[in-house]
Amino acid sequence: MNKAFIPLEDGADSQNPSSIVVHAMGEYIDTDPHDYFAVDYLKLLGLSAHAFITPSGVIIRSRYDQQGGYHAKGFNTDSLGVEFLVPGIHTYPTFLTAIKKKYLTPVQYHAGVKLVSEWKEQHNITEMNRHSDLSPERKMDPGKGFPWDRFLEDTGFIS
């Protein structure tokens, strides 16, 4: 599994993770006049996640597990956040359209299964949610195009 570390500074100094939050965002964010890589865009906004999984299956870590992240309002002091990156350059409307259909590459999916399974075992985590489950009035990700039931099964959250 290919890994990189690009630190994001925003988030609590410490946490004891007890859950995982699954997100999706565009691989690149189209803003006028610049396009930003997902990690750089969150840095610009003062947000963070623990890991990003690129369409090529590379896992980019940006917070240590024992650090809080700013990825899910109200759930940042006890959860690990993973962002699955939707291929391409997106505005928010194009992103919302993209997550309605299958968008994960096989290598990206398998990297996510491996990472989440490791987190589950290392931290004895028994709960995983989609971002949309935690904030249904504000968030749509990871969307209908994410194979949620299969992911729950493949990561051992349901059998």
Give domain status of residue 110, yes or no: yes
Q: What is the pLDDT of residue 2?
A: 83
Instruction: Give the 3-state DSSP-derived string for 27-72, with helices as H, strands as E and coil as C.
Output: EEEECCCCEEEHHHHHHHHCCCCCEEECCCCCEEECCCCCCCCCCC
- Can you tell me which residue has the tokens 């969307």? 143
Residue type, 95: F
CATH of the domain at 83: 3.40.80.10
Structure tokens at 98: 């993209």
CA distances from 20 to 39, 65, 74, 112, 114 (A): 19, 11, 13, 12, 13
| Higher pLDDT pick, 118 / 32 | 118
pLDDT tens-digit series, residues 99-110: 999 999 999 999
Give domain status of residue 15, yes or no: yes
**Confidence tier at 32 by pLDDT (50, 70, 90):** confident
**Confidence tier at 1 by pLDDT (50, 70, 90):** low
Longest CA pairwise span in the chain (Å): 47
Give domain status of residue 37, yes or no: yes
Number of structural domains in the chain: 1
Could you tell me the residue range of the domain that residue 144 belongs to? 3-154
Give domain status of residue 159, yes or no: no
Give domain status of residue 128, yes or no: yes
Q: What is the pLDDT of residue 16?
A: 95
Q: Is 90 helix (H, G, I), strand (E, B) or coil?
A: strand
Q: Taking the CA atoms of 50, 76, 85 and 124 in sequence, report the sign of the dihedral they define.
A: positive
